[in-house]
Amino acid sequence: MFKSFIRHITVEYILAYFLAGYMAIIKRTTRWTIEGREHVQPLREGGDGLILAVWHGRFFISNAGWHRSDQPASVLVSKSNDGAIITAAAKKLGLGVIRGSARREGSDKDRGGREALRGMVKHIRAKGCVVITPDGPRGPRMRVQPGVLALAKMTGAPIVPYALSTRHRKIMKSWDKFMLPFPFGRGAIVWGEPVTLARKAGDADIEAARAILETRMITATHRADALTGKEIVQPSDAPKKSRQ
């Protein structure tokens, strides 16, 4: 019954309105330290399409490092029930939305993966930016899945590692260690060195690019956590370390 209530269109609208407002408050009230501008600024100024890669657990505040004056940005959102709320919130923030995700292993259910891929390719070729979570929607945490590499190979667009952290926050006990930020504190945005993939890349090249992207994303995330003086969130199957 509760799920039916949540799915009601009026309730979804209210939740989306609240979510968008909260994300805007976090962005505007946080004192951001930004590193790695030199990795993303030339791409912004060049005006070509690009891919921003942010971990699923930090997706909530991914709007903080992008502005309406930059290239048109669209976010990839799954076709789940929660995705409907995220979609409405993203649109209120002026972001485009592309719906779909990869088919689960062992399932025949179409989750809109092919349609989403076509939408992302079209958006990038129109010189837009796509924000994607390479470890989503179900993990493993902070481990790059092949979808983002397929998109880069098809379009020739660079993948820019993108990490965010805030000092006032709560880390949830979810698979992705979802970070719930609180307003009026310090924050960090770290851009990593882009990863590119040739359209003629073979399997070995793709795996090498995947490993490099994963390393750069983890490094950027650790740096963002360190800049805010908080516990460093580790990827799945990695030893836990913390910053005092």
- Per-residue b/e over 12-34, b at no fewer than 16 CB within 10 Å? beebbeebbebbeebbeebeeee
Give the SS3 label for residue 170: strand
Taking the model in full, what pTM does it have?
0.87
1 pLDDT higher than 50: no
Query: For 204-236, what is each residue's pLDDT tens digit?
Result: 999 999 999 999 999 999 999 999 999 999 999
Write the CB contacts of 173 (distance below 8 Å, at least 6 apart in sequence).
none
**Burial (Cβ within 10 Å: 0-12, 13-18, ≥19) of residue 110:** exposed
Q: Which residues contact 10 (CB under 8 A, 6 or more apart)?
A: none
Comparing 68 with 21, the larger pLDDT belongs to 21
Domain ranges of the chain: 2-227
Between CA 212 and CA 71 the distance in angstroms is 25
Task: Match 């979609």 to its residue by tokens.
Answer: 87
Each residue's pLDDT tens digit, 93-131: 889 999 987 555 444 455 678 888 999 999 999 999 999
Fold of 2-227: Glycerol-3-phosphate (1)-acyltransferase (3.40.1130)
- Assign 82 a pLDDT band (cuts: 50, 70, 90): confident
Mean of per-residue pLDDT scores for the chain:
88
SS3 for 114? helix
* 86, two tokens: 């995220």
Residue with tokens 């979570």, as numbered in its chain = 133
Within 8 A by CB and 6+ apart from 142, the residues are 55, 57, 135, 214, 217, 218, 221, 233, 234, 235, 236, 238
pLDDT tens per residue, range 232-242: 999 998 544 44
| Distance, CA of 162 to CA of 129 (rounded, Å) | 13
